[in-house]
Every structure is written in C-alpha cells, then in structure tokens.
Structure 1
Amino acid sequence: MWFEERDGFTVPRPLTVNQLADELRHDQEVQAVAALYAADHLGKRDASLATVIKAEHVPYLAALRYKDSGLRKRAQWKQVWEQTAPCCSAGPAGTTATRPTPSSD
C-alpha cells in the first residue's frame, strides 16, 4: 500500500487522506482501532476513518506544516545547518554559527 513500482523502481506512494481511508475501509482491525481512537481521543463515537486520519496526518509541504514565523525560523536553521555541517553540505568549511533553538512555531 505504501509503495508502487515506477520505471522499474519501488518508490514511496503518497496518498491523500481520502485515498488512505478508501484503502483501509474494509480492514476490520483498522476500523476497530480507528473507532476506539475516535471515541477516546477525539470524543466522536461515530467518526469515519477519514476523520481520524485527518486529525493525525502531517502535511508533506513545509508551508502547510508551519506558520509564517516557523517558516522563517526553519529557513534560518537550514542556513546555519549548511554552514556548520561541511561534511554534509557544500557550505564553507570551518564556519561557526549558533543553531536556532527549536520552538512550537
């Protein structure tokens, strides 16, 4: 379910919330776990599997995961990372910088 063959290679298969729910709709064990989770954690006894998955998914794009302040902080962190990890990037060697402290933004 999570991978597909493309041009002779096995590659990850991204799915929307609705596609994933359609794939798992007939799996009784998944349905039972989703019902328990919906009742205990979402307070919705009759929630659909799509509702449960939607509440817990993480968007692929950073622009959908972060607020504007978080995007700015992420860009700053990425720049510092490139400067301080010369073995992992093409940045200038020997540069010293302070990494930003992560927050909930």
Structure 2
Amino acid sequence: AAEYGLYMTGKDNRTVAMSMNNIPIKVGFALGGAIGTYGLSIIGYTAGMTPTPEFVNGFMWIFGGIPAAFYLLASLIMFFGYKITDEDAAMYARENAARMAAQRA
C-alpha cells in the first residue's frame, strides 16, 4: 500500500502509511474486549456461577461464532476487494526506485 501511494501520488508518505498499519489492530483489541465483556453480561455471567447449557452455548457464540464471522467477512473483502497483484507491487517498487534515483541524479 505504501509503494502504491508513492507510485500514484509521487509523494513519499510511506512512513505514515506503515505507521497506520497498527491502528486496525488496536481498534480490534478494544472492540474485541468490549464485545466480549458486554457479551458475557448479556448471557448472564456472574463470578463463581455454575455454567448452564444455555450459558455455554452463548459463550461459544460470543468467543467462537462472532470472531469466525468477522474473519470470514475480512477474507471476503480481501479476496474480492484487493486488486494489487505481486507483479503490480514489484512494478510499483521498481518505478519508485527509478524515480528516486532520477531525482538524486
């Protein structure tokens, strides 16, 4: 993505693009923790409780089903939405290197 941005705009903001890679991870951790905590309260978790079959079923959906659904969604987005091939990425890197070498000369 960083090489593509430089290739398309001619502006070298690769460091910004690379630093932005951590934001989705941090948002995912925050949302995952919140969804898990709220989910436990929704299915009736209390400390020291004896799990009922309904609780176990809800627990499995919260910590197994919901993440699986989001992984599937992310996979579909990457499969159908990401159009840069390995050959394209290599071409962007070559072109960017050539442009930078020409600017230095």
Q: How does the TM-score come out when normalised to structure 1?
A: 0.28
Q: Which has the higher contact order (CA 8 A, sep 6+)?
A: 2
Higher Rg: 2
- Larger helix percent: 2
- Larger strand percent: 1
Q: How does the TM-score come out when normalised to structure 2?
A: 0.28
